[in-house]
């Protein structure tokens, strides 16, 4: 198996990268585990024997014959009878129904309550999270046996009722596990990428968040099923179960009453309980090993807070005295007076973007340039509607092709994102969901926004992969993200960004994670696609080599303000603001700009003709 460097690529990487063979599915890997196979075989046999109990014995599990009490094994009673003359084999088989059904009720109730509550609480947080966490803590603090006794005293002895109540009491364990998993995964970049594609919160939770929490939930459910068998047996042993049902706990209770005269009666229910609980526990352990072994890579930590949404879109308030309606110019995007702030611990508000103005025409590339923390990404995410929920944003005007973004609902923003506004993120490997194949992630936005069939979307996705320079589009389509290089991953993201023919493309540091050879190829690709589709492009970068190669106009940002806007030629030839001159001085070599170009640019274009902008510096 060839291990591909995720941060390298390029033409050679794209043409010669060897994809790993597909890993076997979870079921196949589980069946290769001897312990899991043995546990599944036992549980399958126990379930089948319980369901087909009438085929193995004609005796009633509840009919007692006092005259035939404690009969030895043999004849009509292969395992003998208990202290009141009931057939032990019939009780063992029919009791399996009671115990296994009880474990199913507990596990099902715990997952039914805990899984959706945990997903919603972890994804949205806020008031629902606070209330759900409070209820969860209250249920965990309540003594389970006391609650069961009160319920059974009120409503009568019932195994099904007791197991239902126990399932509710144990649901917080599932809730807490799921919530913590969702809180971790919601910060992943591929979830942001799904939002940028225009997918709604419900679809994101089902397609991208739920698959991550399914594995630990399945493992915990297997453990809970084993615990439920023991709890159900304990309740019946104490006489709190249904009086007219055979159960393994009831068999234990009768056996203890006759332990000195017929100790063998303890053997059969004891073995059934021990083997069943052990099988569930070992199966859960095997599932954990199989699922962890199939993980392609650990979640990446994020250097900065991820853009999150509340209700699907950032709320853009109209600034006082702001204009509304269609823009007065021919701009594709016009933003006037954009401010972004965040609350501080002392209750005040810290402003990170101070009333900036930007405009962009079709077919134009606008570069937002500045040092880290200057507000470039905050500006881009304001247009996308993906700022954190606690962001305070206002603008006098924010018009995209006649649509006032300040008035767009969450659903309206989801229709714009991905379809009319594309986004190319940085860190390509972190923006692809490791749980899904490349093809699935490319076709989902097209099927959602363009209404394509599965076959049409696949055909278009393969065409796009070929268009962005991937020589084996079919194999990449079927690959998982960890099976491709960083350069290929960036090309996949570019294909996804333009898949729905957007009018506006926002590229946030699209070459940061790539080596210089791949950077040059990706820049050429962005320029070609932009020219073909006449898109407006906002390029967020701090690399003046990228600016020289791509940008038509440049807006220089410092501390949340635009200090200078000019054409790329004018900016490099005669920068007006002192901060711009400082940036250029830090980026250029000691030789004259015309012969050397920006630092890193000579590396980018080693052996290539001079780009259109550099020749004019």
- Give per-residue pLDDT as tens, 33-70: 888 889 899 999 999 998 998 888 888 888 878 878 88
Specify which residues 333 forms β-bridges with.
360, 400
**DSSP secondary structure string, 291-344?**
HHHT--SPPPP-SSPPP--STTS--EEEPTT---SS-SSS-SEEEEEEEEEEE-
pTM of the predicted structure, to 2 decimals? 0.52
Answer yes or no: are the C-beta atoms of 116 and 237 closer than 8 Å.
Answer: no
Percent of all residues in the chain with a pLDDT value above 70, rounded to a whole number: 82
Q: What is the pLDDT of residue 153?
A: 80
User: What pLDDT is recorded for position 48?
Assistant: 92
- 196: helix, coil or strand? helix
| pLDDT tens column, 236-275 | 888 777 777 888 888 888 888 888 888 888 888 889 999 9
In order of their start, the domains of the chain are 41-59+83-293 (1.10.3720.10), 360-387+401-420+500-616 (3.40.50.300)
Q: What one-character-per-residue DSSP string does 538-589 give?
A: EEEES-HHHHHHH-SEEEEEETTEEEEEEEHHHHHH---SHHHHHHHHHHB-
Q: What angle do CA 531, 536, 538 make, to 5 degrees?
A: 115
Classify 388 as helix, strand or coil: coil
The predicted pLDDT at position 592 comes to 52
At residue 34, the 3 state secondary structure works out as: helix
How many other C-beta atoms are found inside a 10 Å radius of the C-beta of residue 357? 15
The pLDDT mean for the chain works out to 77
503-508 mean pLDDT: 86
The residues, ordered by sequence, that sit 6+ positions from 164 with a Cβ below 8 Å of its Cβ are 105, 109
Least confident among 55-64, 351-360, 551-560: 55-64
Q: What's the pLDDT band for 515 if we cut at 50, 70, 90?
A: low
* Cβ-contact 511, 543 below 8 angstroms: yes
Q: What was the pLDDT predicted at 134?
A: 92
Quick check: helix, strand or coil at residue 400?
Answer: strand
| Mean pLDDT on 572-582 | 85
pLDDT of residue 275: 92
Confidence category of residue 285, pLDDT binned at 50, 70, 90? confident
Amino acid 152: pLDDT: 79
CB contact at 8 A, 380 and 368: yes
Secondary structure tally for the chain: helices H, strands E: 25, 12
Residue 293, pLDDT > 70, answer: no
In contact, 6 and 489? CB cutoff 8 Å: yes
H/E run at residue 394: strand 392-395
Q: Would you state the pLDDT for residue 45?
A: 92
**Confidence category of residue 3, pLDDT binned at 50, 70, 90:** very low
Burial class (CB in 10 A: 0-12, 13-18, 19+), 188: buried
Over residues 403-434, the pLDDT tens digits come to: 888 888 877 887 788 778 888 887 777 778 77
Sheet holding 365-369, edge to edge: 421-424, 504-508, 536-541, 365-369, 553-558, 561-567
């Amino acid at each position: 198996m060839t291990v591909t460097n995720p941060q390298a690529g390029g033409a050679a990487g794209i043409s010669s990268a060897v994809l790993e063979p597909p890993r076997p599915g979870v079921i196949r890997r589980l069946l290769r585990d001897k312990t899991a196979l043995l546990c599944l075989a036992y549980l399958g046999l126990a379930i089948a024997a319980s369901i087909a109990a009438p085929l193995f014995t004609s005796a009633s599990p509840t009919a007692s014959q006092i005259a035939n009490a404690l009969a030895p094994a043999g004849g009509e009673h292969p395992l003998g009878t208990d202290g009141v003359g009931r057939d032990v084999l019939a009780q063992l088989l029919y009791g399996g129904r009671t115990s296994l059904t009880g474990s199913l009720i507990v596990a099902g109730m715990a997952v039914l309550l805990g899984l959706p509550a945990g997903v919603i609480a972890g994804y949205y947080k806020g008031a629902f999270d606070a209330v759900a966490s409070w209820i969860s803590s209250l249920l965990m603090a309540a003594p389970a046996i006391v609650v069961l006794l009160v319920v059974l005293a009120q409503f009568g002895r019932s195994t099904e009722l007791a197991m239902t109540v126990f399932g509710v009491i144990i649901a917080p364990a599932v809730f807490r596990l799921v919530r913590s998993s969702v809180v971790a995964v919601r910060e992943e970049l591929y979830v942001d990428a799904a939002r940028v594609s225009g997918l709604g919160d419900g679809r994101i939770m089902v397609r991208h968040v739920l698959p991550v929490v399914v594995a630990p939930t399945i493992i915990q459910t297997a453990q809970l099923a084993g615990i439920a068998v023991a709890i159900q047996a304990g309740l019946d042993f104490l006489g709190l179960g249904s009086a007219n049902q055979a159960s393994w706990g009831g068999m234990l209770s009768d056996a203890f009453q006759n332990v000195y005269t017929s100790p063998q009666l303890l053997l059969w229910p004891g073995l059934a309980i021990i083997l069943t609980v052990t099988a569930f526990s070992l199966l859960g352990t095997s599932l954990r090993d199989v699922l962890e072994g199939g993980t392609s890579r650990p979640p990446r930590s994020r250097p900065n807070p991820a853009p999150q949404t509340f209700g699907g879109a950032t709320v853009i308030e109209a600034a006082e005295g702001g204009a509304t309606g269609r823009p007065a110019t021919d701009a594709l995007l016009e933003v006037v007076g954009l401010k972004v702030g965040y609350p501080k611990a002392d209750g005040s508000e810290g402003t990170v973007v101070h009333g900036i103005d930007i405009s962009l025409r079709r077919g134009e590339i606008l570069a937002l340039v500045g040092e880290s923390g200057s507000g470039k990404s905050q500006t881009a995410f304001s247009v996308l509607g993906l700022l954190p929920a606690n962001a305070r944003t206002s603008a006098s005007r924010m018009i995209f092709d006649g649509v006032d973004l300040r008035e767009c609902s969450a659903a309206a923003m989801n229709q714009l994102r991905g379809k009319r506004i594309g986004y190319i993120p940085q860190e390509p490997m972190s923006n692809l969901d490791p749980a899904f194949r490349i093809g699935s992630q490319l076709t989902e936005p097209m099927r959602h926004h363009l209404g394509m069939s599965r076959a049409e979307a696949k055909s278009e996705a393969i065409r796009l992969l070929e268009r962005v320079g991937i020589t084996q589009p079919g194999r990449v389509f079927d690959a998982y993200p960890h099976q491709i290089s960083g350069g290929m991953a960036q090309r996949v993201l570019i294909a996804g960004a333009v898949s729905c023919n957007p009018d506006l493309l926002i590229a946030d540091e699209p070459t940061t994670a790539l080596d210089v050879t791949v950077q040059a190829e990706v820049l050429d690709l962005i320029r070609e696609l932009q020219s073909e589709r006449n898109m407006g492009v906002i390029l967020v970068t701090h690399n003046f080599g990228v600016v020289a190669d791509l940008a038509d106009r440049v807006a220089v940002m410092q501390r949340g303000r635009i200090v200078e806007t000019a054409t790329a030629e004018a900016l490099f030839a005669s920068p007006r603001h002192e901060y711009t001159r400082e940036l250029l001085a830090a980026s250029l070599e000691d030789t004259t700009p015309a012969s050397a170009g920006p630092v890193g640019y000579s590396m980018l274009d080693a052996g290539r003709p001079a780009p259109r902008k550099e020749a004019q510096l």
